Amino acid sequence: MEMWIYRRMQRISWKEKVTNKKVLESVGLQRPELLLTIQRRKMKYYGHLRRHDSMQKRTLEGKIDGGRGRGRRRQTWLGNIQETSQMKMC
């Protein structure tokens, strides 16, 4: 919703191929507040999962038996957390 508002403010049509990054730069913002809130909550939940020994933790770490499906690998939640925090995890 926020990006829609920023695009309207700049009079950028939805048909124009302007990236969200360019729109944010033209408005003078770095990242929408909503994305920062989501990232903070993800990190808090990740810390919660790391402290417990549960099926959720095993699933998160990918320690479930079985074969891998065909095609391109999907982006994992743990990979997203690593990208957000810019740190390498075991």
The pLDDT value recorded for residue 64 is 63
Contacts 24+ apart (CB under 8 A), 71-80: 80/42
Supply the DSSP symbol for 30: S
Q: Phi-psi category of 38—alpha, beta or left, where left has phi over 0 and alpha has psi -120 to 50?
A: alpha
Which structure tokens are listed for 63?
A: 């320690």
The rounded distance, in Å, linking the Cα atoms of 10 and 67 is: 48
pLDDT category of residue 48 using cuts at 50, 70 and 90 = confident
Q: Is the pLDDT of residue 12 over 70?
A: yes
Model-level pTM?
0.44
